[in-house]
Amino acid sequence: MKTTKELFDNNRHWAKRMTQINRRFFKDLAGQQTPKYLWIGCADSRVPANEIVGLLPGEIFVHRNVANLVIHTDINCLSVLQYAVEILEVEHVIVCGHYGCGGIEAAVEDQRHGLIDNWLRHVRDVYQRHHHQLKRAKDKPSLLRRLCEFNVKEQVVNVANTTTVQDAWRRGQSVCLHGWVYDIHDGLLKDLKVSINKDNRPANPYKALEMTVTRAQGLAFKGKKQRQVSRRPQAPAAKRSVDG
């Protein structure tokens, strides 16, 4: 069994290595905190925010919870958001989910998990809202990946509707919201293309998300129809007359 002593040993090695790289690292770090990014991610231990994007301590402000949820009654998350936007004046708020999320999977399982079921109720709400598109998934892994993406998009909308972000935009502060997904199978990030800022924010973000989903459904249906047409057997070409 590992003990916490190993963690202290690792800490000393890390501090020594950082000092060797930059002798002023900790002195500068203690002097100020000026991150440009707020990361709202999952508590999963396989998703370390700093390492994923190659940033050092002090360069990204981080909030994590199960399934990267932004809930309007969660004072913890809202307090982090307010501090990041109003005090640190971050320029970007990133909601990042990840494929293989245990919270996402637990939310669709037909069994009890205890206290966390109350928290995962919000993911189940996302599932219900997008059920018609999710039921088209070819298998469970595909469904979970799509639900992960929908969940991130919904949380970006939730961030956009907080009083903190709405007030920031009203006073002209430049804060851009993003929705990303991290793939633990290859270590790469995927941009879900749902960025919102003070210049392109819709009057009703939830309606805009609904329109995006509807548009995606329409494109998928159109693509399916085109594939069906292309598979239809072609009628034989008519023989040309050879009458003299």
63 is a domain residue: yes
Separation of alpha carbons 122 and 236, rounded Å: 56
103 is a domain residue: yes
233 is a domain residue: no
pLDDT at residue 211, rounded to an integer: 53
Q: What is the mean pLDDT of each run of 10 residues along the chain (244 residues)?
A: 88 95 90 91 94 92 98 97 97 98 95 95 95 92 96 97 96 97 96 94 65 50 54 51 42
Q: What is the CATH number of the domain that holds 135?
A: 3.40.1050.10
Number of compact structural domains in the chain: 1
User: Which residue range is the domain that position 184 belongs to?
Assistant: 32-216
Separation of alpha carbons 163 and 77, rounded Å: 13
227 is a domain residue: no
Closest CA to 154 of 193, 209, 85: 209
pTM of the model: 0.82
Burial 87-124 (b: 16+ CB within 10 A, else e): eeebebbbbbbbbbbebbbbbeeeeeeeeeeebbebbe
87 is a domain residue: yes
Residues annotated catalytic, as ranges: 42, 44, 46, 98, 101
